[in-house]
Amino acid sequence: MKTLNNGEHHSPEWWAVLVQIWAECADDPVLLLGLIAIVYLCFLALTR
């Protein structure tokens, strides 16, 4: 699994894992909000 420090290149496998986690968290609002927060923070870190 590739690290998030590789901002210039997102692997499809990483997105597949993210979607799978999202699907599992969909019925738990707290986990879903946490996941959204983590993705948002990673996005901010990568685009800085």
Examine residue 1 and state whether it is found in any structural domain, yes or no.
no
Report the alpha-carbon distance of residue 48 to residue 28 in Å, rounded.
Answer: 30
Examine residue 3 and state whether it is found in any structural domain, yes or no.
no
Examine residue 4 and state whether it is found in any structural domain, yes or no.
no
Domain boundaries, position 43: 12-47
According to DSSP, residue 48 is labeled -
pTM: 0.44
pLDDT(6) > 70:
no
Number of domains within the chain: 1
Confidence at residue 41, expressed as pLDDT on a 0 to 100 scale? 93
Confidence at residue 11, expressed as pLDDT on a 0 to 100 scale? 62
Report the alpha-carbon distance of residue 29 to residue 3 in Å, rounded.
Answer: 26
Confidence of residue 5 (pLDDT cuts 50, 70, 90): low
- Asked if 11 contacts 2 with a C-beta cutoff of 8 angstroms, the reply is yes
Report the alpha-carbon distance of residue 20 to residue 12 in Å, rounded.
Answer: 12
Report the alpha-carbon distance of residue 8 to residue 25 in Å, rounded.
Answer: 27
Examine residue 19 and state whether it is found in any structural domain, yes or no.
yes
The per-residue pLDDT for range 8-48, each reduced to its tens digit, is 555 678 778 878 877 876 777 888 788 889 989 999 999 98
